[in-house]
Structure 1
Amino acid sequence: MKWKKGLTGMLLAAFLCGAPGVGIATPAHASAGEYKFDFGGGTVETGYTGVSASLSYDSARGYGFRTPENMRNVSASVRFLATGTKSENTFDVDLPPGLYEVSVTLGDTSRSSIAAEGVYQVINMTGNGAKDRFQIPVTDGQLNLLVTEGKEGAVFTLSALEIRQLSSNPVTNRTIYIGGDSTVCNYYPLDSSVQAGWGQLLPEFVNTNTFQIRNMASGGQIARGFHQDGQLEAIVQYIKPGDYFILQLGINDTNPKHNESEAEFKDWMRDMIRQVKAKGATVILSTPQGRATDFNANNVHNAENRWYRSAILALAQEEQTPLVDLNVLSSAYFTSIGKNATLALYMNGDTLHPNYGGARELARLVAQDLKRQGLSGF
């Protein structure tokens, strides 16, 4: 069965697109700067342009795969055989310079990431048919997009792509970038996942007329990995004055298997802070919340000695960055609601990872504290 395409209400209906058929490529020059592509060898959904894995880019057509030999049609989508954000195995679309909103729908895949212009755009989309969107400035007349593995050994497929021009000015709206781990990152579907990270729910507490949210957090991440694996690179490429970068790490960094001392953690974090501040943006540090079971005999929740918190506090002071001490804020909230209500905010049988409701409460605490500190948009 074909995956349902698109995000409801996001795109208009005026397109010159492919009629239903089997992998038929038709002109995609769309009215009002909008484009819709349906990938794979099956029936093309109404209103979309069909794109088979064998379709090579052609300048007269204005779209196609740069290396179709590295593509395969699979189950109502296409599979990318080459991996990595720097791969030339891209789907290219000619676009006038400007700012675009790109919506992606994955096919049958367990975990995939989206890259464009050589850097990550969406990290670790999980589950079949997962959907997400992002803003991207196009300055060279062409969007170059690919799907790459979210974890080693996972297949990476693309089912649908929708592109809408927001402005002729190729500059993103004010943006809140988020870095972190599994307690922060997105889970899918974004609006109904069982597990969630607080970065996923932050848009509920942010003025989205002012900001877009780009959550670049990923499960299992440590400071060295976020710095070295491409997530920081993507942020530094686009971040600008007026943007925020909220950074929360430390939980996985304390695991001995990562061989990252507190001093090394602090050094990686400091370099990330300085790189982003050099771009004129504001860095905000956050400490991680504790476990659901961090209650003492007096039913007070306290986790202040966890997750390299002291290094984060020191960095905030040394680098003159705002700090959200979510560790303390969440403990105060958990104490106020008690043990049972706190456990109900976490995944079943898991005292570390919040569920959707728990992530919402953590996001609320983050936003409230940023508003208290006078940062705009919350």
Structure 2
Amino acid sequence: MKNWIGIIAIFICSSMFAQQTNFKFDFGGSRTQEGFIPITEHSKFDRKMGYGFMDISGLKSVDRGGDALTGDYITSDKPFYFSVVIPEGNYDIKLNLGDSKGASQTTVRVENRRLMLDDVKTKEGEVVEKIITVHIKDSILRNQEGVEIGIVKLKPRERKYLHWDNLLTIEFNDKAPKVCAIILQPNKTAKTIYLTGDSTVVDALYEPWASWGQILPYFFIPEEVAVANYAESGETLKAFEDRHRIDKIWNKIKPGDYLFIQFGHNDQKSGNSTKSGYRKRLKEWINKAKQLNVTLVLVTSMNRRVFDKNNKIVNTLDDFPDAMREIAKEENVYLIDLNAMSKTLFEAMGPENSKKAFVYYPANSYPNQPDALADDTHFNTYGAYELAKCVVKSMVDQKLPLSKFISKNYKGFDLNKPDPFEKFHWPESVFMESLKPDGN
């Protein structure tokens, strides 16, 4: 009888924990700050417990003495991942990074390699506090009362993603990542930017693939803005509807939030013209957003890496960019002309150097990659970073309301002078795959 009581008690506690939205974790050794949950190098993730590391191999707890919270930390010589079971929503995450008796260098990403903090360096004896704001989503459709009414139809490959798994996952990376503490709490006031689109927008899980959508959060002030990326590889406007991805957004988006829409690559490839559903659906989405008092931002699809004999970019997107430009004007909504900006950017790079922004790699650069990769549509992390800066530049230049929330990480951008590839900083994640994303 006592055993059953114990089992029931554990079940109740774990169920309550799964619904918890505020957490305080003290990373390090045996000393724990009062009111914090202790996390050591042995804290392997347990869904019943509700938190832990994805992989504990290589983790090391270091205790320098002194303050219980900041005097110890966890580190590793490879990227490590900490997950927490929390309901969907926006969260502020306070991170204590550093070493009370040494230096540190940490890059922080969340979920599918979504960039939040880049190359945070602390000098010897310094522990810094950083805040990031993260959107967590699940695949359940709920009405305004929170009642489950359906699901998003995920593709098989999406079931491996870290952003549909009912967890927050934080990636700690770089040469000397040292994590002292994490505090999580809901953010009910941040404006949310919902991103819709295809493989050029999606939060890509695997190196070397990347998109501008997963870099965008890095350029916004935390606590003020959360980026919610619902894009997926291979999607068209119609497929986005058919799989209920847009329904998920309509059920969550609030007045004052933003909806970014970028489709064209796959709509064109699916055999559609701009007159056979594309314009109609786009205008239906715009009307719905206006009814919900949501701010629309249309984004024209960026160019593919196709040059003519004069080293000028060739339009391979038919009239889809023009259609989006026309609709933005007709409906009086914001437009980010990434198509035009990418043309300038790629031409400034030139035919050969532009390969550094795309997935161009010799054979055996990545696991299970016997053949060279030469993809003129999909970007690596450097290319994604440059395109994200294009998107931010357009917001700033047009003085979109969102521009007042752009962080100091954005220092301006000249399309004719791309950032040097050699100076781009991106320590690779552990997730790698040579199979290209859906769509082209």
TM-score range, shorter chain: 0.5 to 0.7
Q: Could you tell me which residue of structure 2 aligns to residue 151 of structure 1?
A: 155
Counterparts of 2:356 and 2:265, CA distance in 1 = 21
Specify the SS of the correspondent of 1:176: strand
Give the superposition deviation at 1:210: 1.8
Counterparts of 1:154 and 1:360, CA distance in 2 = 23
Counterparts of 1:153 and 1:364, CA distance in 2 = 29
Within a 5 Å distance, the mapping from 1:42-57 to structure 2 comes to: 46=43, 51=48
**1:33–1:223: structure 2 CA closer, same or farther, 3 Å change rule?**
same
**1:160–1:347: structure 2 CA closer, same or farther, 3 Å change rule?**
same
Q: Could you tell me which residue of structure 1 aligns to residue 221 of structure 2?
A: 207
Specify the SS of the correspondent of 1:347: strand
Amino acid at match of 2:305: A
Counterparts of 1:234 and 1:26, CA distance in 2 = 30
Give the superposition deviation at 1:308: 1.1
Pick from 260, 281, 289: which aligns with 1:276? 289
Counterparts of 1:366 and 1:215, CA distance in 2 = 15
Q: Could you tell me which residue of structure 2 aligns to residue 6 of structure 1?
A: none
Mean Cα deviation higher: 327-336 or 304-313: 304-313
The alignment status of 1:180 with 2:197, answered yes or no, reads yes
Tell me the alpha carbon deviations over residues 27-60 of structure 1, each in whole angstroms, 9 at most, x when there is no partner.
2456983399xxxxxxxx74976539xxxxxxxx
Amino acid at match of 1:284: V
Which consecutive unaligned segments of at least 5 residues does structure 2 have? 1-6, 26-41, 56-84, 94-110, 114-132, 170-183, 361-373, 407-440
Tell me the alpha carbon deviations over residues 329-358 of structure 1, each in whole angstroms, 9 at most, x when there is no partner.
111111112111111100121001111110
**1:314–1:133: structure 2 CA closer, same or farther, 3 Å change rule?**
same
Amino acid at match of 1:252: N
Q: Could you tell me which residue of structure 2 aligns to residue 301 of structure 1?
A: 313
Counterparts of 2:304 and 2:244, CA distance in 1 = 29
Amino acid at match of 1:271: E
Counterparts of 1:100 and 1:305, CA distance in 2 = 35
Within a 5 Å distance, the mapping from 1:293-372 to structure 2 comes to: 293=306, 295-303=307-315, 306=318, 308-348=320-360, 349-372=374-397
Higher relative contact order (CA 8 A, sep 6+): 2
Specify the SS of the correspondent of 2:296: strand
Counterparts of 1:143 and 1:267, CA distance in 2 = 30
The alignment status of 1:197 with 2:200, answered yes or no, reads no
Q: Could you tell me which residue of structure 2 aligns to residue 291 of structure 1?
A: 304
Pick from 216, 228, 246: which aligns with 1:232? 246
Q: Could you tell me which residue of structure 2 aligns to residue 218 of structure 1?
A: 232
Give the superposition deviation at 1:313: 1.1
Amino acid at match of 2:200: T
Q: Could you tell me which residue of structure 2 aligns to residue 114 of structure 1?
A: none
Q: Could you tell me which residue of structure 2 aligns to residue 87 of structure 1?
A: none
**TM-score, L = length of structure 1:** 0.61
Which consecutive unaligned segments of at least 5 residues does structure 1 have? 1-20, 37-44, 53-62, 64-74, 77-92, 104-123, 127-131
Counterparts of 1:34 and 1:196, CA distance in 2 = 30
Counterparts of 2:355 and 2:157, CA distance in 1 = 34
**1:221–1:47: structure 2 CA closer, same or farther, 3 Å change rule?**
closer
Give the superposition deviation at 1:327: 0.8
Task: Decide whether the 8 Å contact of 2:202 with 2:232 is kept in 1.
Answer: yes
**1:151–1:280: structure 2 CA closer, same or farther, 3 Å change rule?**
same
Specify the SS of the correspondent of 1:353: strand
Specify the SS of the correspondent of 2:376: coil
Task: Decide whether the 8 Å contact of 1:250 with 1:307 is kept in 2.
Answer: no
Amino acid at match of 2:395: L
Q: Could you tell me which residue of structure 1 aligns to residue 399 of structure 2?
A: 374
Amino acid at match of 2:236: I
Give the superposition deviation at 1:283: 0.5
Counterparts of 1:203 and 1:139, CA distance in 2 = 27
Give the superposition deviation at 1:147: 9.6
Specify the SS of the correspondent of 2:358: coil
Q: Could you tell me which residue of structure 1 aligns to residue 365 of structure 2?
A: none
Give the superposition deviation at 1:155: 5.9
Q: Could you tell me which residue of structure 2 aligns to residue 244 of structure 1?
A: 258
Specify the SS of the correspondent of 2:215: helix
Give the superposition deviation at 1:218: 0.5
The alignment status of 1:134 with 2:148, answered yes or no, reads no
Amino acid at match of 2:155: K
Give the superposition deviation at 1:362: 0.6
Give the superposition deviation at 1:232: 1.1
Task: Decide whether the 8 Å contact of 1:239 with 1:276 is kept in 2.
Answer: no
Task: Decide whether the 8 Å contact of 1:26 with 1:50 is kept in 2.
Answer: no
Give the superposition deviation at 1:302: 4.1
Specify the SS of the correspondent of 1:27: helix
Amino acid at match of 2:154: G
Task: Decide whether the 8 Å contact of 1:32 with 1:165 is kept in 2.
Answer: yes
Task: Decide whether the 8 Å contact of 1:174 with 1:212 is kept in 2.
Answer: yes
Task: Decide whether the 8 Å contact of 1:206 with 1:367 is kept in 2.
Answer: no
**1:228–1:277: structure 2 CA closer, same or farther, 3 Å change rule?**
farther
Specify the SS of the correspondent of 2:388: helix
Amino acid at match of 1:239: I
**1:197–1:99: structure 2 CA closer, same or farther, 3 Å change rule?**
closer
**1:147–1:246: structure 2 CA closer, same or farther, 3 Å change rule?**
closer
Task: Decide whether the 8 Å contact of 2:86 with 2:166 is kept in 1.
Answer: no
Q: Could you tell me which residue of structure 1 aligns to residue 118 of structure 2?
A: none
Q: Could you tell me which residue of structure 2 aligns to residue 27 of structure 1?
A: 13
Counterparts of 1:152 and 1:222, CA distance in 2 = 17
Give the superposition deviation at 1:276: 1.3
Task: Decide whether the 8 Å contact of 1:174 with 1:242 is kept in 2.
Answer: yes
Amino acid at match of 1:188: L
**TM-score, L = length of structure 2:** 0.53
